[in-house]
Amino acid sequence: MTYPIGFLPKRILQLVTATAIFVLLSIPHVQAQTDEQRQAIQKFGTALQIINFAYVDSVDSPELVASAIKQMLKELDPHSAYISKEDVERVNEPLEGSFEGIGVTFQIFNDTILVVSPVPGGPSDKLGIFGGDKIVKIDGKSATGEKINNEYVMERLRGKKGTTVSVSIKRAGKKALIDFDIVRDKIPLNSIDASYMAAPEIGYIKLTRFSKTSMDEFRESVQELRQQGMQDLILDLRSNSGGYLNIAVELSDEFLPDNRLIVYTEGLRNPRENFSSTSTGSFDNNGRVIVLINEASASASEIVAGAIQDWDRGLVLGRRSFGKGLVQRPFRLPDGALIRLTTARYHTPTGRCIQKPYDEGVEEYFKDFKNRLEHGELVSADSIHFPDSLQYLTPAGRTVYGGGGIMPDIFIPIDSTRFSDYYIDLVRKMIFNTYTMSYLDKNRAQILRQYPDVDAFKTGFVVDDEMYSDFKAKAAEANVVRDADEKYYYPDEDLKLQIKALLARNIWDAEAYFVVINAIDTELSTAIDLLQNEKQFSELQGK
> Using an 8 Å Cβ cutoff, are 250 and 221 in contact?
no
Cα 98 to chain centroid distance, Å, stands at 17
Q: How would you classify the pairing of strands 164-170 and 178-183?
A: antiparallel
pLDDT of res. 11:
44
Query: What is the DSSP-derived secondary structure letter of residue 422?
Result: H
pLDDT for residue 130: 80
β-sheet bridge partners, residue 182: 165
Q: Which segments of 253-389 are extended strands (E)?
A: 261-267, 270-276, 289-293, 315-318, 326-332, 338-347
Answer whether residue 149 shows pLDDT above 50: yes
Residue 516: per-residue pLDDT: 97
* Identity of residue 84: S
CA distance 365 to 268: 22
Rounded CA Rg of the chain: 26
pLDDT digits (tens, 9 = 90+) for 480-498: 999 888 888 999 999 999 9
Instruction: Give the per-residue pLDDT at 421.
Output: 92
**pLDDT of 26 strictly over 50:** no
- Number of neighbours of residue 534 by Cβ within 10 angstroms: 11
Residues in Cβ contact with 35 at an 8 Å cutoff, skipping those fewer than 6 apart: none
User: Residue 95: its pLDDT value, please?
Assistant: 61
> What is residue 314's DSSP assignment?
S
**What pLDDT, on a 0 to 100 scale, did the predictor assign at position 202?**
98
The beta strand positions in 27-161, using DSSP E, are 81-83, 100-101, 104-109, 112-118, 134-138, 141-142
For the residues 332-358, what does the mean pLDDT come to?
Answer: 93
272 alpha-carbon distance from chain centroid = 26
Where do the H-state alpha helices sit in 243-367? Answer: 245-253, 300-310, 362-365
Higher pLDDT, 117 or 106: 106
Q: Pick the residue with more confidence: 85 or 28?
A: 85
Per CATH, the number for 98-186 is: 2.30.42.10
pLDDT digits (tens, 9 = 90+) for 380-391: 887 777 777 789
Percent of the chain with pLDDT over 90: 55
Instruction: Of 140-154, 155-169, 182-196, give the range with the top mean pLDDT.
Output: 155-169
Q: What is the pLDDT of residues 364-384, one digit of tens each?
A: 888 888 888 888 888 888 777
Q: Average pLDDT, whole number, for the chain? A: 87
Give ∠ CA 91-92-97 in degrees, rounded to 5. Answer: 125
Percent pLDDT > 70 in the chain is 91
How many Å apart are CA 501 and CA 508, to the nearest integer? Answer: 10
**Burial level of 400, CB count in 10 A (0-12/13-18/19+)?**
buried
Active site residues: 299, 310, 324
Task: Count CA atoms closer than 13 A to 204's CA, side-chain side.
Answer: 24
- pLDDT tens digit string along 221-246? 999 999 999 999 999 999 999 989 99
Least confident stretch, 108-122, 133-147, 335-349, 398-412: 108-122
pLDDT band at 89 (very low <50, low <70, confident <90, very high): low
pLDDT tens digits for 40-52?
A: 889 988 998 899 8
> Between these two residues, 71 and 22, which has the higher pLDDT value?
71
62's enclosing H/E stretch is helix 61-74
Query: In DSSP terms, which residues pair with 196 in a beta bridge?
Result: 204
Question: Across the strands, what pairs with 118?
Answer: 104
Phi, psi at residue 518, to the nearest 5°? -65, -5
User: Is the pLDDT at 7 greater than 80, yes or no?
Assistant: no
- Is the distance from CB of 492 to CB of 468 less than 8 angstroms? yes
Interacting residues of 52 by C-beta distance below 8 A, sequence separation 6+: 59, 61
What pTM did the predictor assign?
0.79
Judged against a pLDDT cut of 60, whether residue 25 lies above it is answered with no
CATH class assigned to 192-324+344-414+525-541: alpha beta
Q: How confident is the model at residue 186, as a pLDDT?
A: 84
Beta partners for residue 210, in sequence order: 243
* Domain boundaries of the chain, sorted by first residue: 10-59, 98-186, 192-324+344-414+525-541, 417-508
Are the C-beta atoms of residues 191 and 219 closer than 8 Å to each other?
no
Over residues 346-370, mean pLDDT: 88
